[in-house]
Structure 1
Amino acid sequence: MLSRYYTYSQFENYFGSVVKSLNGSILRNLEIGQSVLKRSVYGLKIGSGKIKVLAWSQMHGNESTTTRAICELLASDDLYQIIENIELYIIPVLNPDGADAWTRVNANKVDLNRDAVSLSQPESILLQKVFKDFKPDYCFNLHGQRSIYGSKDGIMPAQVSFLAPAGDKRKLFKRARAQSMSIINDIHKKLEKEVSGIIGRYNDDFNINCVGDFMMSKDVPTILFEAGHSGFDYSRDEATLLLTKALKIAITSVSNISSDHESTWTNYKAIPKMSANYVDILIKNYKATSGNQSLSIRYHEQVKDSCLYFVPVLIGINRKEVLNGHRVIDLDQDQHFKNDLIVTGDLEIYSESLNIKIFAN
């Protein structure tokens, strides 16, 4: 399996080996376009069923988990059984420049998921061309979310999340959206007991510049997949396996969409809505001159020498919106703390006794 961060050349080598195992074309024949910096963007068609599914990943370069899940899907022993009725078109990495640099945006510093209407970037134009030429019956918009999301009460983190995007400002419950919800409901039902956090539901405010909203506005059922975070899974290995299972369920479900729209709506709304209320480390009862404080720490991701580093950064004190952390330290109960917290001018925060330090993935 690919690690969470990989150079684009590492991805090309790995994806090329996956394609060869499928007896597919050699990689250069899969190039469908190029990025701003002239890196190849690849597209793979597999299956010959009547239902067309278009899936694209890593339009945000620092969201690699679903790309890894795609590779796991393609390497699965049951792949051809899963896609028996499907023609699947996969763009595994839409933003290769951002992937290499580990940034959300492309080389022109444009968020491709806000470029659906303007089509100002070559990667956006490429996705739109595939959408028009392939004419998918379903779209899977694959992403990764930060480690800041949890249930609204803050008790559980959001390990994976989904959204049936609104296709208009009124968020109407139309056929395409009902079909997307039906697939998400199936994923939720079959995966709910396998997650260590929750399966969350994203906010559905409409933005025509977002690719998923745009495609739903064209009456094409679209699903947003989000690989989230739980516990110490900073490698996102657990999330990768969960997203692989979610993809398999979704592909299978498109052949068996529920026609009961009333129960579809009810079940979808029952999926817990997420809130940005988590941090990576929450320190409680830190004794300061002004009284006890809670310290919110978030890991900032940095790539150096082809390695992904997680740098602890103090992002706030006594933040009311922070309800929990993936690691919670109560200094009233911790016997190891030696009052050795160090905060740098850049708000990086370290403690040897609490094992708060930079680590690599």
Structure 2
Amino acid sequence: MMENTQQQSKPLGRYFTYQEFEDQFLPIVQSLPQDTYTFSYLGSSVQNRSIYGLQIGHGKLKILAWSQMHGNESTSTRALLDLLQSTDLDQIIKGVSLYIIPVLNPDGLEDWTRVNANGVDLNRDALELSQPESLILKDALDFFEPDLALNLHGQRTFYGLNNSVLPAQLSFLTPSGDSNKQVTDSRLQSMSLINAVVEQLSSSMGAGIGRYDDGYNPNCWGDHCQSLGIPTVLFEAGHSGDDYSRDQVKGFYLESLKIVISTAKRNMTWSDDTETKYFNIPEIHKSYCDILIRNLSSSCKSVDLAVMYHEQLIEGQLCFIPMIFAINEPSILYGHRTIDLTSHKTYNDDLVISEDMEVSSDSLKIRSFIK
């Protein structure tokens, strides 16, 4: 066992290998006071990478959180590591037993893919339980019997908020537990927690927060938990501006975790206006692109090009490659970066679109980059 001190290391970036995750996570665990946690090996992924469980705190309220069920959604894991290193962690977990499964899909993390090594979306495997990673989560649910489940995800950059110019930096959902989308007690409990995040975070930090669609899919883990009567909050890390490292959003995510845990341990009930407040949170819509190029001259007319970055792992580095996503698409209203060529004085007519739809322009500073 290592000494009960933690050596400071460079924070994980948007992409990291599983070995890099372990090199950060294991010392963090060993730096925790020994009487506050239980650490365990839960099993292995398809490609034989270890999956861990960490229970911290001994309080009555039991909260289960899992991250990176989708391997290319790393903000959730980074926020969990920050939570474990927070100076106010003792206060946050007072009265709580917090059980964390960081990186449920280590093979997907390694290859920066949504699916696991067998090509299966683990968030569509709650009933079939065809994958070893799914069985690990099922065993954790059965063993821990949580009072609250936190299903931690990330989303793409094309989401904005309905009837707003704001991009969705965070999105939340209380999943449905049945095909009729009934508002049950467990849904009301998780709605009240989401409302607390919106009320505190949007006012104090100015985050753009949206509500995810609650269509029912029994194969999804959040819907499955809700069908069992477990209040469930689904988190989605979004995007704004040039935050492709997701560092700003990671800060919002961390604060959201703290708010949900702190609110849950104070009160897991709801008020008469809980449902109304929740459904007043703006829904997310695919109204954004990474770069919106307006008024590009083409065949004697002007067109608007929507460009999205394709995230691709090349020689161990996460590359963002600008690709044509849509042309004159009316649903795309905004860009995280907008270029209007009618008023862009430095444009030198050097926009190049390759056969595979990759876009580049030196004068507009459109090119691939690494994060």
TM-score band, normalised by shorter chain: over 0.9
For 2:369, the aligned partner's letter is: F
Distance in structure 2 (CA, Å) of the matches to 1:233 and 1:351 = 21
Aligned to 1:135, which of 145, 151, 159?
A: 145
2-side partners of 1:316 and 1:154: how far apart? Answer: 21
**1:223 has 2:224 as partner:** no
Separation in 1, partners of 2:270, 2:189: 10
TM-score by length of 1: 0.97
CA offset digits 1:36-55 (Å, max 9, x no partner) = 00000011000000010000
The answer to whether the Cα contact below 8 Å between 1:201 and 1:272 also exists between their aligned partners in 2 is yes
* Contact 1:65 1:236 (8 Å CA) reproduced: yes
SS of the equivalent of 2:362 reads coil
Alignment of 1:230-241 (within 5 A): 230-241=240-251
d(CA) in 2 for partners of 1:56, 1:136:
12
What's the counterpart of residue 111 of structure 2? 101
Report SS of the residue matched to 2:210.
strand
Say which of 43, 62, 78 aligns to 2:88.
78
Report the CA distance shift for 1:303/1:85 in structure 2 as closer, same or farther (over 3 A).
Answer: same
Give 1:305 shift: 2.1
Deviates more, 1:282-291 or 1:37-46: 282-291
Who is 1:32 aligned against? 42
Q: How far, CA to CA, are the matches of 1:70 and 1:258 in structure 2?
A: 22
Q: TM-score, normalised by structure 2?
A: 0.94
Distance across 1 between alignment mates of 2:264 and 2:286:
31
CA contact 1:42–1:92 (8 Å) conserved in 2: yes
Q: 1:290-321: per-residue Cα shift (whole Å, max 9, x none)?
A: 41100000000011222111000011110111
1:298 aligns with 308
* Paired residues of 1:158 and 1:198 also in contact (CA < 8 A): yes
Which residue is 1:339 aligned to? 349
Letter in 1 for 2:236: E
Could you list the runs of 5+ residues in structure 2 that have no partner in the other structure? 1-10
Deviations 1:25-64 (A, max 9, x none): 9x99631110000000011000000010000000000000
- Residue type at the aligned position of 1:357: R
Counting matched residue pairs gives: 360
SS in 2 for 1:281: strand
Question: What is the rounded CA distance, in whole Å, between the counterparts of 1:183 and 1:298 in structure 2?
Answer: 33
**Aligned mate of 2:173, from 152, 163, 167:** 163
**Inter-partner Cα distance in structure 2 for 1:80 and 1:64:** 25
Change (3 A) 1:170 1:261: farther
Whether 1:54 aligns to 2:71 is no
- Percent identity over paired residues: 49
Which residues of 2 match residues 1-361 of structure 1 at below 5 A? 1-24=11-34, 30-153=40-163, 155-195=165-205, 197-257=207-267, 259-361=269-371
Alignment partners' CA distance in 1, 2:195 and 2:71: 28
- Conservation of the 8 A alpha-carbon contact between 1:31 and 1:40: yes
- For the aligned residues, what is the CA RMSD? 1.5
Measured in 1, the distance between the counterparts of 2:241 and 2:164 equals 14
Amino acid at match of 2:146: P
- The 2-side partners of 1:290 and 1:256 are apart by 64
Look up the equivalent residue of 2:200 and give its one-letter code: K
Question: Given the superposition, is the C-alpha separation of residues 195 and 313 from structure 1 closer, same or farther in structure 2, using an over 3 Å criterion?
Answer: farther
Cα distance in 1 for partners of 2:119, 2:68 equals 15
Kept in 2: contact 1:159–1:196 (CA 8 A): no
Provide the C-alpha distance between the structure 2 equivalents of 1:195 and 1:229, rounded to a whole number of angstroms: 15
Separation in 2 of the partners of 1:134 and 1:260?
A: 24
* Structure 1 runs not aligned, ≥5 long: none
Question: Residues 118-159 of structure 1: CA distance to partner in whole angstroms, max 9, x if unpaired?
Answer: 100000011011001100000000000010100123511000
Moved more, 304-313 or 86-95: 304-313
Aligned residue identity for 1:270 = N
Whole-Å separation in 2 of the counterparts to 1:196 and 1:6? 29
- Mapped to 1, the partners of 2:27 and 2:314 lie a distance apart of 26
